[in-house]
Structure 1
Amino acid sequence: MSCKLSPAANRLGRELSAHVPSEAEGVLSLAGELGGELSRIWPLAVRHLRVRSNDAHTLYAVAIARSLLEAYPEADAGVVLPAIMLHDVGWSEVPPDEVLEAIAPGGGRPDLVLLHEKEGARLAAGILSELGVRGERAQRIVEIVDGHDSRREALSIEDAIVKDADKTWRLTPHGLDTVMDWFGLDRAGALRLCSSRVHGHLLTDAAKALARGLAAIESANLWHERAALELP
């Protein structure tokens, strides 16, 4: 699954790149976060994330968490961003043929959800230690990883942002594409499933608004009027 990065045409017929700003509000760079710390965490995390499309999921969740931090300046980005980057590393320790059973509609395996949290906390602690992140900050990050799915209430605003970024991903285009292939659902079914697992389960007002917007856009994609248009 990839997004369009280059144009298929230039219908205007003139080169306009000189008028595009080099930076713009809301456009994020992973490399600059936390003085480059996230870029150092990523190579150590991604080796554990090549399960269930967790590698791409994690990058999108990091971006969502970063946007939510703008609404909550009191939250510690130095806890939120490493925690969201490391939150799913524990799925690498769950038997591959059981990973989707853990979250399947109409069933689920809470024991496997707990296993991925416990193993994720262990792996996260090791990665943070390897990078020299220790003490109270490391403890807070690991504590968030251990319980990010099973714990219903947030320990802190940092924990709430991590939980919300993780869940809100489900309503992104990549989230719906992924869920469709996980469970053999068409896009309409995936949108209904994901909406039922996101709306009503978020903790921050900013995430609730973002989730509503994402669901609205995807709803419009399913309208027959939209499908009738000769547009990509």
Structure 2
Amino acid sequence: MRIPTTHPVDTSQIAAPPDESADLDPVWKSVVPESRARSNDIHLPISLAYAERLCRAHPEADALVVRVAILLHDTGWGRVDEDRILSEGFTGDWRKASIRYEHERQGCLIAREVLPPLGYDDEFVERVCAIIDGHDTRADAHSLEDALVRDADRLWRFGTTGIALASSWFGLTPSRYCDRLEAEIVPELKTEAGFRIATVELARSRALLKTEVLR
């Protein structure tokens, strides 16, 4: 059962970041090298925009934990063997590939390196690391904040930019990747807000990309 919300859910197309995003610029600047791996400089900002929408649908969540965790969650890709990212991380039983566990571990190390000098206390850092650790490789969310990060990490794939990048990583056509999103990723979404956003975004992307024709 997905986590419900009684608050509005924004399903409009993301075109610009919310005004509050600039407060995390010091964190962004601390991970510029890590943002260059596996198109993180596209994936992470878009995922943050989705996370902020999910936080507005769930004002009871600790939005700062969610926002910092989604910003940092995939930075670990910047510290693993880049040649192995596509060869191991996107083939076969990709969720259990050792390189995915490694990027989670490296992401936690990065969070512990960059956050304390920026004024984040130890408790906050460990809450962020608890989300980063296992965000790809475990099935369950351990908190509302964890659920929001996991959904935001998946939602970016439903827009045309995410489809363009991720379909190439998995070696699929956009139409087949959209089929995969519906069959495999939609059932993983933890929140009703995430499900509603994904459903609208996928329909919009399929129409724009003409996936029922270009098969």
TM range (shorter): 0.7 to 0.9
Q: Which residue of 2 aligns with 1:40?
A: 26
Q: What amino acid does structure 2 have at the position aligned with 1:151? A: R
| Counterpart Cα distance in 1 of 2:19 and 2:113 | 22
**TM-score, structure 2 normalization:** 0.84
Query: 1:217/1:28 Cα in 2 relative to 1: closer, same or farther (>3 Å)?
Result: closer
- Kept in 2, the 8 Å contact 1:45–1:85? The answer is no
Computing the radius of gyration over CA atoms, which structure comes out larger, 1 or 2?
Answer: 1
Encode CA deviations 1:17-42: one digit per residue, 9 max, x unaligned.
xxxxxxxxx98646634xx5411100
1:81 is aligned, of 67, 70, 89, to 67
Aligned length: 200
Q: List structure 1 runs of 4+ shifted beyond 6 angstroms.
A: 224-227
Aligned to 1:201: 188
Q: Which moved more, 1:115-124 or 1:186-195?
A: 186-195
Percent identity, aligned pairs only?
35
Larger RCO, structure (CA 8 Å, separation 6 or more):
2
CA RMSD of aligned residues (A): 2.2
Q: 2: CA distance between counterparts of 1:40 and 1:47?
A: 14
Normalising by the residue count of structure 1, what TM-score does the alignment of the two structures yield? Answer: 0.79
The residue type paired with residue 176 of structure 1 is: I
The one of 101, 106, 114 equivalent to 1:127 is: 114
Q: Deviations over 1:83-128 (max 9, x none)?
A: 0000001111211110013332434252111100011101111110
5 Å-filtered alignment, 1:105-124, equals 105-108=91-94, 110-124=97-111
Of Structure 1 and Structure 2, which has the larger fraction of its residues in helix?
2
Consecutive unaligned residues of structure 2, counting only runs of 5 or more, are 1-13
Distance 1:224 1:122, change over 3 A: closer
**1:14 equivalent in structure 2:** none
SS of the counterpart of 1:73?
Answer: coil
Mapping 1:86-105, distance limit 5 Å: 86-105=72-91
